[in-house]
Amino acid sequence: MAVRWELLRRDPASAARLGRLHTPHGVIETPVFMPVGTQATVKTLNPEEVWDLGARIILSNTYHLYLRPGHDLVQEAGGLHRFMNWKGAVLTDSGGFQVFSLADLRKITEEGVQFRSHIDGSTHFLSPEKAIAVENALGADIIMAFDECTPWPCDYDYAKRSIERTARWAARCKAAHARPDEQALFGIVQGSTFADLRRQSAEEIVALDFPGYGIGGLSVGEPKELMHEMLEVQVPLLPDDRPRYLMGVGSPEDLVEGVWRGVDMFDCVLPTRIARHGTVFVPDGKMTVRNAEFARDFLPIQEGCDCYACRNFSRAYIRHLLKADEMLGLRLCSIHNLRFLVRLMEEIRAALAAGTFAEYRKAFLERWHAGEAERRERARAAGGAGHAPGPAEPLLPENR
Ligand SMILES: [Zn+2]
């Protein structure tokens, strides 16, 4: 088997688990956050930097690599690991999320999805079989089934038809998978924000017996309470001895809340995307280091942080770099944000090992939410401008 997940310890107070994911490219401690390397690169960082901040598995996007440079070329280069010179593990999504996000550019049938490239407008067709063939060629350790990710809000009848199609597609993905000994194919459960559909989807996908499960269609605009509720409905229906991966979710508080509800794996572009707007994570919430108040602030982004940026540079210097549009500013903010999330998961794992995760969660969330509330208050007082995270960058299809 390409990938095996080992349960080390259960949290007595919650659904959280401490575990270990064995892959052809190393052992990964879980719960884990996976940095996103959309175009076979974690934006602005080289692979050594990603490794040095503690990441051992990254995600790459099938949709983007299929369109450019093409999966055949990546295969010819010896697969994704060799092509990008990454010695850790890789997970590829199936492209479904991006393709379904191209609302005006795609047409869905039972056979698959016809879509137009966001790069040059050329027409392509992705089916479960084609998506798996592309993922087989890219060669990641973990590959994801081709599913339909419904937007939010979504009407009930559409969501129901969609999960049923996703289940039929999951069976086709499994049948098409040509490298099961080298790559683990994870199924994806959906169901929008309807509890009965979340249950039905879990039952149908679990019946196909995958070595791991992605939870899709959450954090797509719904209130956080609804996301938590859906996790509480769906996670207990997933097999206890397989890893669970909450797709596209990666804000610090979501990681803590997801682990609490039994999730083992996460990915998100958030840390690198907000870094490009000069926004960084600190234990008291997000901080926009680009703001004028940091012009003469010679402290590091986060005192005590062990990342390269905080060990070597001040807020004032990083702000200067951002204002001057210097690449190093983006790199330093990205390094800090990724290290913040990787370290958060290290701390969560240590708390799980010590049996103190409930206390850790409470302390982390109290401080985080208090800081975020204060930040919103100050932004309001400043007329809404001061602490805004910068212009909204479209999340799709480039930036998931
Ligand atoms: Zn730092």
Tracing tokens 């840390």 back to the chain, one arrives at 271
95, 98, 103, 105: CA torsion to nearest 10? -60
Q: What is the β-pairing status of strands 26-30 and 57-60?
A: unpaired
The rounded radius of gyration (Å) of the Cα atoms in the chain is: 21
d(CA 261, CA 237): 12
- Cα of 384 to ligand 1 centre, how many Å? 27
- Cα of 287 to ligand 1 centre, how many Å? 12
- Cα of 305 to ligand 1 centre, how many Å? 5
Helix (H) or strand (E) holding 273: helix 270-275
**Residue 173, token pair as written in the block:** 């993905």
What is the per-residue pLDDT across 41-67, written as a single tens digit (0 to 9) for each?
999 999 999 999 999 999 999 999 999
- Ligand-binding annotation for 297, yes or no, is no
Which residues in the chain land under pLDDT 50? 386-400
In this prediction, residue 384 carries a pLDDT of 59
Q: What predicted TM-score, i.e. pTM, was given to this entire model?
A: 0.95
- Cα of 322 to ligand 1 centre, how many Å? 16
Helix, strand, coil: what percent of the chain each, to 5?
Answer: 45, 15, 40
- Ligand-binding annotation for 139, yes or no, is no
**Residue 6, token pair as written in the block:** 């080992």
In this prediction, residue 164 carries a pLDDT of 98
Tracing tokens 């997801």 back to the chain, one arrives at 258
Spell out which residues have Cβ within 5 A of ligand 1, the ion. Answer: 305, 307, 309-310, 336
- Ligand-binding annotation for 81, yes or no, is no
**Residue 271, token pair as written in the block:** 């840390």
Question: Would you name the residues annotated as active-site residues?
Answer: 93, 267
- Cα of 36 to ligand 1 centre, how many Å? 19
- Ligand-binding annotation for 94, yes or no, is yes
* Displacement of CA 73 from its chain's centroid (Å): 25
Question: Letter for the amino acid at 112?
Answer: G
- Ligand-binding annotation for 305, yes or no, is yes
In this prediction, residue 122 carries a pLDDT of 93
d(CA 202, CA 205): 5
